[in-house]
Chain A
């Protein structure tokens, strides 16, 4: 790639302008694509608190807005800017790959910094551009400076502010963390920071599978103390976002991790009585949420997990010790009584807010039948405790919504 010729500058004027903005504010923490009509609005808002001069105009229209470390890119220039950035990046990458070995060290460093600069521009505009992430990995894997990796975490965080679902960006973050932990040990602050990042992104981007997967992935790097801390910390968020099944899955991941720790010896071991307490607390808390937020599927699915594990792990272990079956287990009997109580109150459908209560009745009915699907011995206990009338009621609730599925249940 040739640089400095005047025609190149004309051609890539927008791109140069973009680089200039990025260089002049290295602390940008949020980026977005905005319609130029919003620029004036943003200026007005900003004018109240800040008298700084706005960025230079490009002819009659403005291309970038940058105040308080927030960067707006005009939607009018996106196509051209993105095309230019890709073109220049791919050219730089080709030069790097073909001439890399034949150059001296300072030349290599020059080409590398070109690739880094242009891949950054490309990724801010097109976050799923895998080849640009790969080029950065290639160059970063040669460095032994922790600061280069933490800077990379900052850049990918910035890109996630605009593209919270970008899988290559999340994946790149995991690669950085793996590199850091391989070369410098895993600082617990990084794990804590990552967890916070997912929570704040989850706030703006609902039910974001990729973000929550990232948080689940972190669990394998956590010591038991941090697992307990995370369980505690994510509780408030979950209660405020009861439809976000991914957050409840994160809690399930943490809770299973606690169960694993009950079975081990050593510094990561965890007391079974304490684990039992955590389970009971989660069940009680879930019941509160189920009663407060009527008809929420994510809450009922969470309850399936909690109840199944409680019976299998905490109640059944007792019965195998004493040689009793689940059916004659006193604790299980009391547990099922309570669940039937919850079922009964959930199946009352008042006239107001009809749909939510109808959904609540369905989820409760399906929940009740899901347990014996997993623990067949429960069938007889449930039949006895419910009685024919109530069982019919449960089945007809399901029949209204999912008649074809019910046929299978009845056959069982």
Chain B
């Protein structure tokens, strides 16, 4: 992207986003924040990863965050979305990712967390989200990503896990949450991510999937998650990271996508929304900044499309020990 075009389309107001994230943690008086507090662990991951991508992770108290995370861990080894809640694989990955951001994986009982995750694998290779048994390819990705960070992939049957994910492939090249379920960009990210982390991308029909994914880009430059849906910043991340992993990102107009994401910023108070002029939230702020990172926007650290963590953090994981 040339500097002239980025001037025309406006800039990333990084400082304002940092302030927005730091404020969001303190504002607890809206109904939205009350109904979100069961997934505070996810919120913390979105906020803190965004801060790290903007090189501002130092502004939060590491000790405070880390000790709060550890109070959310259960006997079973899994993590809850908040103190006093039940554990779920969704929050377990977020907890592990946040600890990775702070280079604090070593405070974990790795064996215990890994056993919790591995214990959720079913006979057919699929994963349940918790002891109650709902199956979803999202949970396959989460399990594989989590164990990759902990370097304990050998605790699960990887071959069966991969076979199950491949069985969720549709005729359009995309993936759904279980076999026969509709293709969905979020599920595709999970399946492609899991296949990338296990070195199984050859099981994807890259041209066919790339075809479906690049059809998600609309006239505005933003990407949607399914046919006929409106473009949305969060889907922009899921489609974009999938396209990068299967090496087909040159099939879409990246410059238009950058412009779309920048147009979703609240230029006064910070934060990014799902599409221009909507209300901002922390979820879309993370996906917006992460999307710009994949698009190599200046001033944003590079993010790894499969781990969904900054590349320097991933390198630290891979090259230590």
Binding site for B on A (CB under 8 A): 75, 78-79, 82-83, 86, 90, 94, 125-126, 128-131, 134, 137, 171, 174-175, 178, 207, 209, 212-213, 216-217, 219, 243-246, 249, 253, 256, 296-298, 301, 304-305, 308-309, 366, 370, 373-374, 402, 404-405, 408, 412
A134-B86, A404-B250 as given contacts; A125 in contact with B35, CB under 8 Å: yes
Complex CA distance for A297 and B208, rounded to whole angstroms = 17
B31 touches A301 (CB 8 A): no
Residues in B with CB closer than 8 Å to A370 are: 211
CB of A142, distance to nearest CB on chain B (Å): 15
Nearest chain-B residue to A359 (Cβ)?
B219
Report the number of A-B residue pairs with Cβ-Cβ less than 8 Å.
Answer: 109
Check B56 for interface membership: any CB of A closer than 8 A: no
Complex CA distance for A94 and B215, rounded to whole angstroms = 50
A79-B34, A126-B34, A404-B252 as given contacts; A209 in contact with B171, CB under 8 Å: no
B30-57 residues at the A interface, CB under 8 angstroms: 30-31, 34-35, 38-39
Residues in B with CB closer than 8 Å to A216 are: 180-182
Residues in B with CB closer than 8 Å to A309 are: 171
Residues in B with CB closer than 8 Å to A243 are: 228
Complex CA distance for A207 and B226, rounded to whole angstroms = 9
A305 touches B38 (CB 8 A): no
Chain B, residues 202-226, CB within 8 Å of chain A (1/0): the string is 0000011011001101000000001
Complex CA distance for A171 and B134, rounded to whole angstroms = 7
CB of B260, distance to nearest CB on chain A (Å): 16
Check B62 for interface membership: any CB of A closer than 8 A: no
Residues in B with CB closer than 8 Å to A402 are: 214-215, 217, 251
Q: A405 contacts which of B171, B214, B228 (Cβ < 8 Å)?
A: B214
Residues in A with CB closer than 8 Å to B38 are: 126, 128-131
A130-B38, A213-B177 as given contacts; A404 in contact with B172, CB under 8 Å: no
CB of A289, distance to nearest CB on chain B (Å): 14
Main secondary structure of the interface of A (DSSP, over half): helix
Residues in A with CB closer than 8 Å to B211 are: 370, 373, 405
B228 touches A296 (CB 8 A): yes
Binding site for A on B (CB under 8 A): 29-31, 34-35, 38-39, 80-81, 84-86, 88, 130, 132-134, 171-172, 176-178, 180-182, 184, 207-208, 210-211, 214-215, 217, 226-229, 248, 250-253
Residues in B with CB closer than 8 Å to A134 are: 86, 130, 132
CB of B14, distance to nearest CB on chain A (Å): 28
Residues in B with CB closer than 8 Å to A301 are: 172, 227
Residues in B with CB closer than 8 Å to A219 are: 180
Nearest chain-A residue to B177 (Cβ)?
A213
CB of A304, distance to nearest CB on chain B (Å): 7
Complex CA distance for A161 and B198, rounded to whole angstroms = 41
Residues in B with CB closer than 8 Å to A298 are: 227-228
Complex CA distance for A404 and B35, rounded to whole angstroms = 43
B251 touches A405 (CB 8 A): yes
Complex CA distance for A94 and B132, rounded to whole angstroms = 19
A219-B180, A253-B180 as given contacts; A174 in contact with B134, CB under 8 Å: yes
Complex CA distance for A245 and B35, rounded to whole angstroms = 30
Residues in B with CB closer than 8 Å to A131 are: 38, 80, 84-86
A94-B84, A130-B88, A245-B226 are known; give 7 further A-B pairs, CB within 8 A: A75-B31, A83-B34, A128-B39, A134-B130, A178-B133, A305-B171, A373-B208
A130 touches B81 (CB 8 A): yes
Complex CA distance for A402 and B252, rounded to whole angstroms = 8
A78-B31, A298-B228, A402-B214 as given contacts; A209 in contact with B184, CB under 8 Å: yes
Complex CA distance for A94 and B86, rounded to whole angstroms = 11
Q: A137 contacts which of B88, B132, B207, B226 (Cβ < 8 Å)?
A: B132
Subset of 17 A-B contacts with CB under 8 Å: A126-B35, A130-B85, A130-B86, A134-B130, A137-B132, A175-B132, A209-B184, A213-B177, A216-B180, A245-B226, A245-B228, A296-B228, A308-B171, A402-B215, A402-B217, A404-B253, A405-B251
